[in-house]
Amino acid sequence: MEEKREQWGSKLGFILAAVGSAVGLGNIWRFPYVAYTNGGGAFLVPYFFAIFTAGIPLLILEYGMGHKYKGSTPLAIARTNKKWEWLGWWPTISAFMILGYYSMILSWAVNYFTFSFSKKWGNDSNAFFHNDFLQLTSSPFEFGKMVWPILLGIAFIWAINWFICYKGVKGGIEKASKILLPTLITIMIIIAIRAVTLNGATTGLNTLFTPDWSMVMKPKVWVAAYGQVFFSLSLAMGIMMTYSSYLPKKTDINNSAFMTAFANCGFEFLSAIAVFAILGYMATSQNLPMSEVVSSGVGLAFVVFPKVFSTMGGGGTILGSLFFLCLIFAGITSSVSLTEAVAAPFSDKFGIEKNKMVTIICVIGFIISSVFATGAGLYLLDIIDNFINNYGIVVVGLLEVLLIGWIVKPKKIREHTNEISYFKIGSWWDLTIKYLTPAILIFMLIQSIFTEIKNPYGGYPMLSLLLYGWSIIGIGVIGALLLAKRPWKDK
């Protein structure tokens, strides 16, 4: 089967796809806020430290594993150590769950792109988003009715995922990345240029970049930096190992890891400049302190920004439509990589033709995603996302470094990547994988669990956290163990 494995058409195609996977909604609405709340300019110290001590070493690890063992995540891990195969299935299941709610957020962005031309959200963007658009119910247990515009948007996003992945690695993902990623960066540059010329932009940028050095000594700031790097580079989601398994024999792995990390980091900075310049304009025009207009995530994109676009007249229409287009493109490059990371392992395991597998995954995925198009969609997104990110992904990352650091031995992977890379990595990498990264991830995990026990997430009823949070983690682990027991077809 190895001989028939697809390949990227070029190294550039692989880098663009990997960067496209890394550049997602989190870069636009998570990084600026995380930097702002964790010491502004001072946050860059732990952030860059995290890129060099966790981001790049883990990318090299995942690229090296995928390339050396020529298989999607579960297959690559099974080839290093059969007993650990389940560790490849857990992120595969998590990726599928993430796709469920990711398609919903992208559906919102598609809808809001059409709203931006008429500024349909009116004067009260908050009420419009929660009541008129989402038709949000009063609790996570009350599903309400199906919201058709959101469901249609979800269908549209799954159709795009299907179309791109069905065309294969070279003809689909690579081609799409070569169009989507440069377009995305161009749009973001246009938004940033317009944003920094707005009245009050400097207020926003000063707020973002003024360093608060007292924050650098706080452990929570370091945890936030590692968390940001981890989530933003698509680590421990089964994507990077699968993507690198399609690389030709001679590929500069080490260099590719550095390029992916820095390209992603550059886009985060660009987004932060655009976001905070616009927030500065809003604070100035409404005579509010910056602390009152800053928010992150869904609220920033669908409540705060529409409010800003409304105050800008005709310019707001252009900026608004560009902003939502940006969200759509950033999201599609990530959702395509997630789709591939789910389809490839099942195709490898059960010997089902990849195209057929992509179709099956997209149909089942759409059916599951339709739950998010109900009035409880936002609650489900919030709870599932918190648990998958804080527990699922962090634990997978931790187990990955323990497996390679202590059982397989990092030297094996390092020698493989050094043999084919211009830039050689030294034994510092082994020490990072063995000691530093696991120590930080264990600390992150303990902190998450303590916080969870002290005050349960988001003030939700305990039952909803068990049903939509902890049980999702349970499904991931049990599903992974069951899949690992099944024999490989043709292997």
Report pLDDT digits (tens) over 295-339: 877 888 899 999 989 988 888 899 999 999 999 999 999 999 999
Task: Tell me how crowded residue 96 is: count the other CB atoms within 10 A of its CB.
Answer: 22
**Taking all residues of the chain, what is their mean pLDDT, rounded to a whole number?**
92
Residues 378-392 have pLDDT tens digits of 999 999 998 998 888
Going 322 to 323 to 324 to 325, the CA torsion angle's sign is: positive
* Exposed / middle / buried, residue 487 (Cβ in 10 Å: 0-12, 13-18, 19+): exposed
Residues 287-302 have pLDDT tens digits of 999 888 888 778 888 9
In a domain, 266, yes or no: yes
Does residue 110 contact residue 116 with C-beta atoms inside 8 Å? no
> How many helices (H) and strands (E) in the chain?
27, 0
Residues 131-150 have pLDDT tens digits of 999 999 999 999 999 999 99
Does residue 137 contact residue 403 with C-beta atoms inside 8 Å? no
Residues 423-466 have pLDDT tens digits of 899 889 999 999 999 998 998 889 888 888 888 888 899 999 99
In a domain, 236, yes or no: yes
Both tokens assigned to 223:
């945890």
Three-state helix/strand/coil letters over 351-400: CCCHHHHHHHHHHHHHHHHHHHHCCCHHHHHHHHHHHHHHHHHHHHHHHH
Does residue 361 contact residue 355 with C-beta atoms inside 8 Å? no
Predicted confidence band of residue 490 (pLDDT cuts 50, 70, 90): low
Residue indicated by tokens 């990849």: 354
Domain housing 412: 11-485
In a domain, 251, yes or no: yes
Does residue 222 contact residue 17 with C-beta atoms inside 8 Å? no
In a domain, 3, yes or no: no
The kind and range of the H/E element at 198 are none
Number of domains in the chain: 1
Distances (CA, A) of 233 to 248, 388, 389, 487: 22, 15, 13, 31
Give the C-alpha separation, 193 to 262, whole Å: 21
In a domain, 375, yes or no: yes
Mention every residue, 6+ apart, whose C-beta is less than 8 A from residue 60.
253, 254, 257, 413, 414, 417, 425, 429
In a domain, 5, yes or no: no
Give the CATH number of the domain where residue 358 resides.
1.20.1740
Going 400 to 402 to 408 to 409, the CA torsion angle's sign is: positive
In a domain, 6, yes or no: no
In a domain, 337, yes or no: yes
Does residue 267 contact residue 92 with C-beta atoms inside 8 Å? no
Predicted confidence band of residue 2 (pLDDT cuts 50, 70, 90): very low
Task: Tell me how crowded residue 402 is: count the other CB atoms within 10 A of its CB.
Answer: 18
Residue 25 has pLDDT above 50, yes or no: yes
